[in-house]
Structure 1
């Protein structure tokens, strides 16, 4: 693990890992009160965060505000995952899953509790968080890797490439359309549950979820419909819809930002 800088509000510990497939360097920004320096301090839950955007845009630094705000209650590892275009959705989800593995393997050194791990993300990052939760369910057992996810935090997530919900249609033309087209260039790709969680018919066994939406967000309905599907599959789910306001919920200047952070902190402490 290579790193630079220190762990503070907007000066996170920066590091990276190499993917197993192509030895590609994937950047990480780590926020946390302990910063891996104090062995006597209480270990914090570990949250692996995937930044927002629409698969073709966004940057890991976009998560600085929410990651910093959560760092009093968790160690947050924000992932600079590859964007759509040169990589298939399977490549991108594999990178996201490897980031989870890296975070778990380095939890102790980061001052985090490897037995309390969650995935989180907004917009396209919410899609990746949901996909990683599925991959973890499908591949991991305590005897094979040791990772046992405790929860998934989905903030206005992009989950349905059909874009057929009422809230999506009400917006008219959305940048989501271009994002989905780049992420899933083949029609058959949209049938894969890791690409389109909302289309999955096998949701049982997933970890508890917190689904956060906004009244005026185009992604509202697909997120809440996914929450309903999770509940029907027996997955514990908490849903919180915030009032219509301008801007993104993860933006520290948003009127509901402090309430969003409070909601997430409560879920981190008690996902069940």
Structure 2
């Protein structure tokens, strides 16, 4: 279908603002630009509690932001990994997204401020996200959570990390995750797909940006083939938690997200994949500019509630 009206307006606003593309900047300057775009995330709805703290990680303390919904716990717990190409972003850039998910899924949301590239190359981000997931499983009750009902979610590079953490948890036998929500995830170090060719220049996320992100994250082509960077390359994706995979019609990452969903289905996982027509990459975190993202997050929350209820 045609590009959604709000996506078209957002792209027009960016074009009129001018300035260099992210991939023309240093990581430090790109991070400043990302902070300046935070207004597009919209205002966060109120939640019963928001607390910043740290949890132990493989290379020191990992900052996390914990959102607690109203009501009586223990609540299920959702770990959320922000996007930004492993180079940009923080819990601040997904604040409204996490608040909405906490309220709609009725879950404690733990937003993880994992180490960023290029200062911390692959697989630092994945190791931090897995460590935070283990901490939640071992300490869920201290944050009002239920250790039997834990899920992971993330957008873009964060969707990549959610997929990778699910694989790591399966391989290590812990924790037993209830669900994974993969929001337009990066799943493969490969720019030769129809969606890259169709959408790689004009729809917010570009091929050049993705190449820039990957170049900062990995050290070599071999890293790019490692399943911890490219979960689509995993030899075995059986035994993984059920999943909801969100893709966007005008996103260069559309095809790799849908390819990963198919791979999970072929391996026997229960997967719902939904392509949001007319939408561009980022629509689930740019809630101030693209309200359609709220509906996608409502859909994700509905799937999470069902998955959590199955473990009560």
Q: Bin the TM-score by the shorter chain.
A: 0.7 to 0.9
CA-CA distance at 1:164 after TM superposition: 1.5
User: Which of 161, 169, 173 is matched with 1:140 structurally?
Assistant: 173
2:184 aligned residue (141, 153, 156): 156
SS state at 1:157 partner = coil
Residues 71, 125 of structure 1: alpha-carbon distance in 2 compared, 3 angstrom cutoff: same
Aligned to 2:238: 204
The range that moved more, 244-253 or 254-263, is 244-253
Match of 2:300 among 248, 264, 270: 264
Contact (CA 8 Å) 1:245, 1:255: kept in 2 or not?
no
| TM-aligned CA deviation for residue 11 of structure 1 | 6.8
Q: Which has the higher helix share?
A: 2
Q: Could you tell me the TM-score, scaled by structure 2's length?
A: 0.77
Count residues in correspondence: 254
Cα displacement string for residues 121-169 of structure 1 (whole angstroms, at most 9, x for unaligned residues): 001111111000000000025xxxxx31011110011111112211112
Unaligned 5+ segments in structure 1 are 1-7, 142-146
> In the alignment, which residue of structure 2 is the partner of 1:4?
none
2:283 matched to which residue of 1? 248
Residue 25 of structure 1 deviates from its aligned partner by 2.1
Once residues 252 and 111 of structure 1 are traced to their aligned partners in structure 2, the CA distance between those partners, rounded to angstroms, is 28
* Aligned residue runs from structure 1 range 18-167, under 5 A: 18-19=56-57, 21-22=58-59, 24-34=60-70, 41-72=72-103, 73-141=106-174, 147-167=175-195
- Deviation string, structure 1 residues 67-86 (Cα, Å, up to 9, x no partner): 10011211100000011112
Is the 8 Å Cα contact of residues 56 and 179 (structure 1) preserved in structure 2? yes
Normalised by the length of structure 1, the TM-score is 0.87
- Matched with 2:25 is none
Bigger relative contact order (CA 8 A; separation at least 6): 2
1:222-262 Cα shifts (integer Å, max 9, x gaps): 10011001101111101111121355222222231221122
1:184 is matched with which residue: 215, 218, 223? 218
Contact in 2 for aligned 1:249/1:257 (Cα 8 Å): yes
Coordinate RMSD, CA, aligned: 2.0
> Where does the alignment leave 5 or more consecutive residues of structure 2 unmatched?
1-45, 202-206
CA distance in 2, matches of 1:9, 1:185: 40
